[in-house]
Amino acid sequence: MSVAATIEHKLNEAFSPSRLVVIDESHLHAGHAGARPEGESHFRVEITADKFKGMSRVASQRAVYEILSEELATDIHALALTVRS
């Protein structure tokens, strides 16, 4: 499974979002530190889910980071988040 597909799967399972967009921006960082030659290292995620209601911006981002902790430790070099309830 690709890193992008793994991100989508895990976030769908954890948050049942009404909107989820996962954008691989690795091509914009080719040759930069942390960029892997095979790509799939830099992502932008936009997620909207009821589970974020009442959570601060920091808390909702931490919840996403927790779900993706394994990938952040291995495959993902950069993750830009937009989280909405």
Q: What is the pLDDT of residue 1?
A: 80
3-state helix, strand, coil in the chain (%, to 5): 45, 25, 35
pTM of the model: 0.87
- Residue 11 to residue 39: CA distance in whole angstroms: 21
Beta bridge partners of 48: 19, 84
Cα distances (Å, whole numbers) of residue 83 to 27, 28, 40, 73: 23, 22, 21, 21
In terms of Cα–Cα distance, which of 57, 45, 52, 46 is closest to 85? 52
Give, for all 85 residues of the chain, the pLDDT tens digit: 899 999 999 999 999 999 999 999 886 756 666 555 666 788 999 999 999 999 999 999 999 999 999 999 998 988 999 999 9
